[in-house]
Structures are given as structure tokens and as C-alpha cells.
Amino acid sequence: MAYFISVDLGGTQIRAGLFARNSTTPLKVERARTRADVPGVYERLEALVASIWPQDGPVLAIGVASPGPLNPHSGVIIATPNIKEFRNFPLTEKMMARFGVPVFLDNDANLACLGEWKFGAGQGHHNVLFLTISTGIGGGVIAEDKLLQGFHGLAAELGHTTVWPDGPLCGCGKYGHIEAIASGPSIARYVSEQIAAGRESSLSGEKSLSAREVSEAARRGDVLALEAFSRAGRYLGLAVANFLASFDPSIVIFGGGVSRSGPVLFDPFHASLRENCFNPAYLENLQFANAALGDDAGLLGALALVMLSVPDN
């Protein structure tokens, strides 16, 4: 039997899965804590892969999903905000030297998009826009059955596109990115700032708010919480209108915790999208879907990457 291995490298845990060639059901999945601040993340990743290495047949290739920015062409992780030791880190080169098989790397949002397209909510579509909304906003694009990567492998970093030049500061240091308005922490920050400025809310007094708490308050009818999601939804609609004009997909797939907020986010989103979409033709037969792969998006996306990269698959 021949195998693939896929790895999902996250800020809190590393997961590695062993798959029979042409199967998406893992034969084995092992986990390790990333311990991002403790030296040796790469060694822990290597040990985890070694621990699931099969004894009865070759591994054809390994796929790795990692936080970016990274260069999928060279296999180098440029810098990950959470894992400090990965700065210009030649991950695929080191793994190929260790394991003697081809290793493919791309960023987690791109690979979640690829996974959703190949195995999840985007199956059968040729042009896919994927947005994951959680602590940040990540993007991925399939353009005519191909993952959009770009010259430096930095395409579809859609969370860091500006929709409001005078808007709030983004984690990246620029202003008015959609991530700075509609990510979970940005929604919670807006509520905290408004409370600090004297606004009434059932959330007053909470020390550090989470997007989930704001979402629950919104569902209870808290006016400020509703406003925070409405604001996020409106700018998200503006951002997606821009992405439609750029990529013209046939499906928009939402992943990440914030995307499970329901109508408090998506009613304002759809109203804003209709208002801001410059030509109604973009919306004809356009589908919206929730990501279907859940926690397995990284693992299955990295599997899709190796399946597509290794001939005869």
C-alpha cells in the first residue's frame, strides 16, 4: 500500500494524519502540543510525522498546512505571528532531507479553501471564494479549478485588504483592513471601546470580551452587541462586493467561529452585499455556504494539496 501524510500546524496543536492513497479517511491521526514559545517546534513536528510513518509501504508525499505568510513555491515560512522560531524557515527543505519524500506547503486558509473545494462545500465549483473569520480573517481563492497562489505565493490575503482607509488599526499595523473590523477580536474590541466611551450594554463590566459573548448578547437583544455585528456585517458585505468584482466566484464559503454567528452577522452582510455589488449579474446563481470540513480543514486541505501535486492522483 502507498500512503500520503498530511500535517496541520497550528498555534496550539500540531496534527498529522496518515492516509491511504486516494482515501480521505485517515488511518491514523496523532496530535502534539505546539508549545509555540518553547524552542523545538520543528523537532516536535518531525517527531509527530515519524510516529505515524507506515511500515508496510512508501509515503508518496507529505503536505503541510501552516500559518503564513509563507512561500509555497520555495517551501519557506516567512514569519508566523505565533511561532517565533519560524522566520525564513525552510520547512519543506528540512522535511525532505529528513524523510526523503516530496513535501508541499501552503498557508492554512489557502489549504482550507482547497480542501473545501475538493472534499467539502465547494465541490463541483470552478471558481470559489473562501473566507475564514475567527481571530483573524483568512482568504483562499480557486480560479478555474486552480488554487490562486501568485508570484510570491501571497495571493488571496483577503483579510488584509482595505475597506475603510480611516478605519481601525489592524494587527498587521495598517488601518481599515476588513480583519480589523470583522474578525472576532475586532467585534469584541468595538463593544469594549463603546462601553468605555459610556455606551449602555448588558456586557458592561465584563473584563475582556470575546466575540462569542458579544454574539450571545446580540441574540439576547443587546443593542450595542447587535450594532457591533451589524457594523462587521456591513463592512464584510463591502469587502465581499470587492472580492466578487475581483474574482467573480460561483460560491462564497465561510469558515471560522465568527461565521457561525447567524443572522446578527449575515442579515446586515447580505443587505450590504446587495447594496455594494456594482452589477447584479455577480449575484445571479451565486451560492453561499458554510465550510463543511470543520476542524479537519487543514488536514484535508494539505491532503488535497499532495493529491493534486503528485502525478496519477
Dihedrals phi, psi of 256, to nearest 5 degrees = 90, 155
Binding site for a second copy (CB under 8 A): 69, 78, 126-127, 141, 143-144, 146, 148-158, 160-165, 170, 172-174, 177, 238, 241-250, 276, 278-279, 281-282, 284-286
State the Cα–Cα distance between residues 136 and 256, nearest whole angstrom: 9
Are 301 and 130 spatial neighbours (Cβ–Cβ below 8 Å)?
A: no
Q: Which is nearer to a second copy, 35 or 174 (CB)?
A: 174
Residues 6 or more apart from 15 whose CB is under 8 A from it?
7, 8, 29, 30, 31, 48, 298, 299
Are 129 and 249 spatial neighbours (Cβ–Cβ below 8 Å)?
A: yes
Dihedrals phi, psi of 234, to nearest 5 degrees = -65, -45
Shortest distance, position 265 Cβ to a second copy, whole Å: 18
Q: Which is nearer to a second copy, 33 or 152 (CB)?
A: 152
Shortest distance, position 126 Cβ to a second copy, whole Å: 7
Shortest distance, position 169 Cβ to a second copy, whole Å: 12
Query: Which candidate, 112, 173, 105, 99, places its Cα nearest to that of 141?
Result: 112
Q: Which is nearer to a second copy, 198 or 280 (CB)?
A: 280
Shortest distance, position 293 Cβ to a second copy, whole Å: 22
State the Cα–Cα distance between residues 49 and 91, nearest whole angstrom: 13
**Strands of 3-9's sheet in order across:** 28-33, 13-20, 3-9, 59-66, 103-107
Dihedrals phi, psi of 171, to nearest 5 degrees = -55, -25
Q: Which is nearer to a second copy, 129 or 291 (CB)?
A: 129
State which H helix or E strand residue 245 sits in.
helix 223-247
Q: Which is nearer to a second copy, 21 or 234 (CB)?
A: 234
Shortest distance, position 155 Cβ to a second copy, whole Å: 4
Shortest distance, position 72 Cβ to a second copy, whole Å: 11
